[in-house]
Every structure is written in structure tokens, then in C-alpha cells.
Amino acid sequence: MEYVALGNTGLEVSIAGLGAGGYSALGLRRGKTEAEAAGLVCDAFDLGVTLFDTAAAYPTESVVGKAVRPFRDQVVLSTKGHAVEGESLRTSRELEEQVYASLRMLETEWIDVYLLHAVAADDYDRVRACALPVLDRLRHAGVIRAIGITEAYDSDPAHAMIRKAASDDAWDVLMAGYNLANQGVRPIVPEGRTFGMIGMCAVRDPDRLRDSVSSSLGDLVDTGEPDELTDLAYRFARSATFIDTVVFGTSDRDHLVANIRSLTLPALGSSLLARLEEDAGAAPQ
């Protein structure tokens, strides 16, 4: 496993991070027990993972918190909370209560990275104005170490919110989707960025990913360079120099091991990377 600085946060993270949401939620959404889900967290730590990402909206905050308790000071805990509920913006008090609720669920004294969850582009300005002062106050109180924001990837494939956040100096960390089929965030992230960058959705649905890429890319996968689309997709995401760490979800140990293996293999060569960038193309701007 390799470890890198998460922007200028002062936090060091593994290049592969374990996400506790998505379709699986560490297997809880597929019939796994909390003990089995916690076992995956411990297995990931044993394999070198030090970034664990969850959210108030997932059923996994308490699982992750309990699992990392024996090695809490060796990991970076990231969690998320919504600033908008329906059409209404949460009040400052509600936002603060939400952070403390996550603190209790995680059974920790501090949250390393607190992210505003799935913020829509149209909500960006009002969310920033209301939520940022609250989170900044909690950071100064030592409750939060770094403040971030995530896009609503499925409903914002052109990364309109990230475009706003990346040009702002308000955030310590951004989380955005980046994969073979949607490379649109690449030209948005400025060179010399100071914020940390977490990549997500590198492989959310391999079948859908295969359907969305060009025929020439399909030929490349079929020839065995590398031999699996999932492996290629993770290595592609990891090869992005503007991303510090890539988070992925899983529900079983074999899948966990395979994903970590893909993310820790050497970066793709420049010629292969150029072909993948050309074939798949960027999302519409």
C-alpha cells in the first residue's frame, strides 16, 4: 500500500480507501450481519487501508466506528451529512447537531474529514453560506479536522457543483466521481490544487460501465491488457494524478482483496492512459 498527503489537510491516507455506502454498505444491504461488515473494515486495515468513508445516510457509521476503535489513531475517518432536506436548508443548529450525531455513532472524539453530502449545483451558494461557518467553528473546536463537499454524481454527471467548489478556496477536501466513462472532472481540477481530492464511482456497475465505453475500449479489455474491465477501471482511476485516493465499496473479502490489488498495481503507462482518455472521452462540459 502507498500513502499520500490528502491535499494540504495534514492528513495522510492510503491510495485505496474503503467506502461504506453504495449498493452494498459493507454487505448490510445484501444480508450481511454487522459483525461481518465490521470484519471487512478490519480486513481492509490489515491490508493497509487507512481511509474509511461513511455517512449519516448509510447504515454503517456505527459499524465503522466500532471496527476501527482498536486502531482509531492510525486511520482517517470520513463521514458525510446532508445540508439540504427536501427543498429546505438545514439550520445552523441542525447542522451542528448532525455532526455531533455522527460523532456519537462513530464513537470517536473527532472526525478527520466531514463532508457535505451530495450537494447539487443549484444549492451550492446557499449551502456554502449557511454550512461553512458552522463547520469552520467545529473545526476550530477540534471536532472536525478537515471540511469537504461531495457532488451528487448520478444527477450531476457534468460536475457542475465540483466546478464551483474547485474554484473556491473554502474546502479542504472534494469528492467527485471519476471513471472510464466519465472523465469530466479531470479538466476542472486545477494544477497546484491545495485541497485533497477523493475519487469515487470508479467501478459502481461493471456491466453498465462496459456498455458505456467505446467498442475499441472493449477490444482492449478483451485482449487482456489488463484482462478484466474492473481491474482496468480501478487502475485508470488510480492513475489520475489529480486524485489522492480512490474509495470503493464491497461486501466480501475476496472482492476487497481484488480491489486493493488493482488500486495498488503500478499506474498505467502513458500511451495506454492516453488511449483510454481519448476513447472514453470527457463528459459534456
Residue 26 CB contacts under 8 Å (≥ 6 apart), including other chains: 20, 32, 37, 40, 41, 60, 63, 64, 249, 250, 251
Choosing from 58, 124, 153, 178, the catalytic residue is 58
Summarised one tens digit per residue, pLDDT across range 7-57 is 999 999 999 999 999 889 999 999 999 999 999 999 999 999 999 999 999
Summarised one tens digit per residue, pLDDT across range 222-258 is 655 555 788 889 999 999 999 999 999 999 999 999 9
Summarised one tens digit per residue, pLDDT across range 230-240 is 888 999 999 99
Mean pLDDT of 173-179: 96
58 is catalytic: yes
Helix or strand (DSSP H, E) at 16: strand 16-19
| Single pTM value for the model | 0.93
What pLDDT was estimated at residue 284?
A: 41
CA dist., res. 264 & res. 284, Å (int): 30
Inform me whether the pLDDT recorded for 219 exceeds 70: no
Mean pLDDT of 161-170: 96
What band does 269 get if pLDDT is binned at 50, 70 and 90? confident
User: Where are the extended beta strands (E) located within 54-143?
Assistant: 76-81, 84-85, 88-89, 111-119
CA dist., res. 232 & res. 262, Å (int): 8
Domains of the chain, residue spans: 3-280
Instruction: Give CATH for domain 3-280.
Output: 3.20.20.100
Mean pLDDT of 97-117: 98
